[in-house]
A = this chain, B = another copy of it.
């Protein structure tokens, strides 16, 4: 690969002329053009499993905003779906699994996954998006983390108190470990297949790591993420595929995370990114972390808040600008423009 991407370079802490920017759920409901395709698809899962439509919505935000990366449009729960748990999305609600994992037998019954066979629609989308991007910006592949997949699989959907999955962990740590081991293999193989199909960076979304007691986060959620990392084939040198770990609510545990072998950590909006850099910036790049709710504020406020994040991180490479969580569905796209343009205008001063 002869291209040089500011996004990849920042993740690898190589010098960059400005801070790259993309944002979580950038292909999403806040875009009218997304809503049109989503309607055409009929259901969210139809959209995910149709490579042409997934490619189309992946590219949409790049046409509007000066972004430095595309992220594969998909769901974090494709793996348990491929394992036969029966994923569905009720309108206006979260994901549901028809057959949750509750018992030892349920765990043992989970089949291994062959990503090219079982999740071929994802790999087809990755190949198609790479072709359509034609080198303009790099493509990020992703997966839910083993712990986050386990949460949905055991709860059978979203949860407020995580009663089922935590009770399983507390009462049967051995069984939780078996489940996470299986998922770590599946997730790593899935990400490796995305890399083989063309993903130029990969990100592990640990959406629910932050709901655990510290010790359990380390011994279960993070331990499983580390097993994923150990199995990833990221390559070296020019073709190195950086790996990012994002744990929502994980700001207390950055030192542990920085030791898990990922190139970069995603930060939610509650972290002070400058403090985070002082804690772990010697080992990892940092991605984040504007509060998504900021995008409801005035464009001038947004610009001021972008400046604060850039100033807090300070001078030098190792920062990828992002929101601290996914963009909210009813944000005004013009406000997104204000954010992205502010990063373009203000960040070069931090790279002289």
A270 CB, min distance to chain B CBs, angstroms: 6
Q: Which of A51-59, A109-117, A209-217 contacts B (4 or more CB under 8 A)?
A: A209-217
Is A192 part of the contact surface with B, judged by Cβ < 8 Å? Answer: no
- A314 beta carbon closer than 8 Å to chain B: no
Q: Which of A41-49, A135-143, A292-300, A337-345 contacts B (4 or more CB under 8 A)?
A: A292-300
* CB atoms of A269 and B171 under 8 A apart: no
B163, B291, B301: which contacts A293 (Cβ < 8 A)?
Answer: B163
**Once the chains are docked, how many angstroms separate the CA of A252 from the CA of B271?**
8
CB pair A211–B270 under 8 Å, yes or no, is: yes
The digit string for A264-304, where 1 denotes a CB below 8 A from any CB of B, is 00000111100100000000000000011110111001000
List residues of A whose CB falls within 8 A of some B CB. Answer: 161-163, 166-167, 170-171, 210-215, 217, 249, 251-252, 269-272, 275, 291-294, 296-298, 301, 305, 308, 312, 324, 328
5 further A-B contacts with Cβ under 8 Å, apart from A166-B296, A171-B297, are A161-B293, A163-B293, A163-B328, A166-B294, A170-B305
5 smallest CB-CB distances across A and B, nearest first, come from A214-B272, A170-B297, A166-B293, A251-B252, A167-B296
